[in-house]
């Protein structure tokens, strides 16, 4: 009996499937089985999978009529024999030591699951995304349910997709099987249902998974039934959360998280553009500024200034400038800050605490005048107004 069963749902990914499977079968931890579910592919995906199964006895292939990701995962976990379960999308790949590292912590602490970070791959850029909680063991005094989502920052703290987790099969099985008739957000339902009931979770502040963001993938293409699917996910999670002793807290989190998913615009377009209001009240008109940060906040600020010319961005920098060198934006090394004349340096980072640390580093390393640095907590345009907080007076 293998220790880890790796489940790979696949649909029309002939261009990527070899890299995906190779990254799994060549793991430093080899006590695994690889269960591939060909979800009615119309290209060469199914044939490629069969070739791997003939060459490696650890690889098993299921061919099914096109039924969607949820059904593919169910069929995979039904025949999985490993103590632990991992999932990987067929157009993604993983680091060679991912399962060795995660298995080590799963065994050491006998946890229900281990969670790690990932790399977001898009248009030749690679951005590391780590869990937004400290590395370590959660459970008992560190209640897992409190780390699902940060309402104030509109941010997921623990990734709600399957692929950054190594689960105990006995703990995740029922939550995979309960998801029905959902084409999108099925992983949110299963993972969040699991997390609010888990007794323990180990969080690793390392990235091992390479998530390929591409047009036309099953999770990013336009879907006219998007809102229907999100409503189904909401109802299933609401039922699960209502059974929990912390239902009031969880239902409030659920409301905001579901709204955030809807805001992504996946029902209308396959690309999301997060909008954060530029802090006009902090930056005087016509100022010369350095913009620090090229994530979704920085890009949102940049697009606004490019349209309204409120101020002049004389330099745009990010510590990950090398990985962004092939993007359509000109992102430079922070070391260039002292080479330009500017009046303000605006830190465009989603996490306020991280922005403050960046400011401290700029003062210490680059000797930037702290009076020039603007640290501002980004604000989304859309936000819920809780009826309990609204007194009916404008």
What range does the domain containing 178 cover?
4-263
pTM of the model: 0.72
% residues pLDDT > 90 (the chain): 65
Q: Answer whether residue 270 is part of any domain.
A: no
The closest alpha carbon to 293, from 340, 342, 348, belongs to 348
Query: Is the same domain home to 194 and 339?
Result: no
Q: Answer whether residue 268 is part of any domain.
A: no
Q: What is the pLDDT of residue 122?
A: 73
Mean pLDDT of 283-312: 94
Mean pLDDT of 261-288: 74
**Angstrom distance (rounded) from CA 312 to CA 301:** 12
Query: Is the same domain home to 250 and 338?
Result: no
- Per the structure, how many domains does the chain have? 2
Q: Answer whether residue 390 is part of any domain.
A: no
Q: Which tokens sit at 152?
A: 């104030």
Query: Is the same domain home to 128 and 199?
Result: yes
Query: Is the same domain home to 246 and 319?
Result: no
Q: Answer whether residue 30 is part of any domain.
A: yes
Q: Answer whether residue 386 is part of any domain.
A: no
* pLDDT tens-digit map of 217-274: 444 455 667 788 888 889 999 999 999 989 999 999 999 888 877 766 554 444 445 5
* pLDDT tens-digit map of 174-233: 999 988 777 778 899 999 999 999 999 999 999 999 999 865 444 445 566 778 888 888
Helix 69-79 with 186-197: angle, nearest 10 deg: 50
354 CB-near residues (< 8 Å, 6+ apart): none
336 CB-near residues (< 8 Å, 6+ apart): 315, 317
Query: Is the same domain home to 65 and 175?
Result: yes
Q: The domain spanning residue 301 has which CATH number?
A: 3.40.50.720
SS3 content of the chain, % helix, strand, coil (to 5): 35, 20, 40
* H/E run at residue 235: helix 226-242
Q: Answer whether residue 274 is part of any domain.
A: no
Query: Is the same domain home to 130 and 178?
Result: yes
Query: Is the same domain home to 255 and 371?
Result: no
117-131, 134-148, 234-248, 353-367: which has the minimum mean pLDDT? 117-131
Q: Where does a domain end: 217, 248, 263?
A: 263
**Angstrom distance (rounded) from CA 138 to CA 364:** 34
Query: Is the same domain home to 258 and 329?
Result: no
* H/E run at residue 61: strand 59-64
* pLDDT tens-digit map of 48-94: 999 999 999 999 999 999 988 889 999 999 999 999 999 999 999 99
> How much is the mean pLDDT over the chain?
88
C-alpha triplet 134, 136, 139: angle, nearest 5°:
105
Would you tell me how many other CB atoms lie within 10 Å of the CB of residue 160? 20
Q: The domain spanning residue 37 has which CATH number?
A: 3.90.550.10
Query: Is the same domain home to 353 and 242?
Result: no
C-alpha triplet 14, 187, 263: angle, nearest 5°:
100
The closest alpha carbon to 63, from 47, 78, 51, 77, belongs to 47
Q: What is the pLDDT of residue 128?
A: 86
Query: Is the same domain home to 363 and 259?
Result: no
Q: Answer whether residue 215 is part of any domain.
A: yes
332: phi then psi, degrees, rounded to nearest 5: -110, 170
Query: Is the same domain home to 199 and 246?
Result: yes
Q: Answer whether residue 277 is part of any domain.
A: no
Mean pLDDT of 329-352: 92
Query: Is the same domain home to 258 and 304?
Result: no
98-107, 111-120, 123-132, 191-200: which has the minimum mean pLDDT? 123-132
């Amino acid at each position: 009996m293998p220790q880890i069963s790796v489940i790979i749902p696949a649909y029309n990914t002939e261009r990527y499937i070899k890299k995906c499977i190779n990254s799994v079968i060549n793991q430093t931890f080899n006590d695994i089985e690889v269960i591939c579910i060909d979800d009615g592919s119309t290209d060469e995906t199914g044939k490629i999978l069969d070739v791997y199964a003939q060459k490696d006895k650890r690889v098993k292939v299921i061919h099914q009529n096109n039924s969607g990701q949820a059904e593919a995962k169910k069929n995979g976990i039904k025949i999985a024999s490993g103590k632990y379960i991992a999932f990987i999308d067929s157009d993604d790949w993983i680091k060679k030591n991912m399962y060795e590292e995660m298995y080590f912590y799963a065994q050491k602490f006998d946890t229900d699951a281990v969670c790690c970070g990932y790399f977001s791959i898009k248009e030749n850029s690679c951005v590391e995304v780590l869990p937004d909680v400290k590395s370590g063991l959660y459970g008992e005094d560190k209640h897992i349910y409190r780390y699902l989502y940060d309402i104030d920052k509109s941010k997921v703290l623990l990734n709600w997709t399957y692929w950054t987790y190594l689960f105990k099969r006995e703990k995740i099985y029922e939550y995979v099987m309960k998801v029905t008739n959902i084409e999108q957000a099925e992983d949110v339902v299963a993972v969040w249902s699991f997390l609010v009931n888990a007794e323990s979770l180990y969080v690793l502040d390392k990235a091992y998974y390479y998530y390929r963001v591409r047009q036309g993938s099953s999770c990013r293409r336009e879907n006219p039934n998007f809102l229907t699917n999100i409503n189904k996910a909401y109802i299933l999670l609401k039922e699960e959360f209502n059974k929990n002793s912390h239902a009031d807290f969880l239902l409030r989190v659920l409301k905001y998280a579901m709204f955030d998913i809807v805001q992504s615009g996946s029902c209308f377009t396959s690309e999301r553009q997060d909008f954060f209001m530029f802090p006009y009240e902090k930056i005087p008109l016509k100022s010369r500024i350095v913009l620090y940060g090229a994530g979704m906040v920085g890009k949102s600020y940049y697009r606004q200034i490019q349209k309204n010319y409120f101020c002049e961005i004389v330099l745009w920098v990010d510590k990950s400038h090398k990985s962004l060198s092939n993007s359509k934006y000109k992102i430079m090394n922070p070391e260039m800050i002292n080479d330009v004349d500017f009046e303000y340096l605006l830190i465009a980072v989603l996490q306020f605490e991280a922005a403050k640390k960046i400011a401290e580093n700029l003062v210490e390393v680059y000797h930037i005048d702290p009076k020039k640095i603007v640290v501002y907590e980004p604000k989304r345009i859309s936000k819920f107004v809780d009826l309990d907080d609204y007194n009916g007076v404008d």
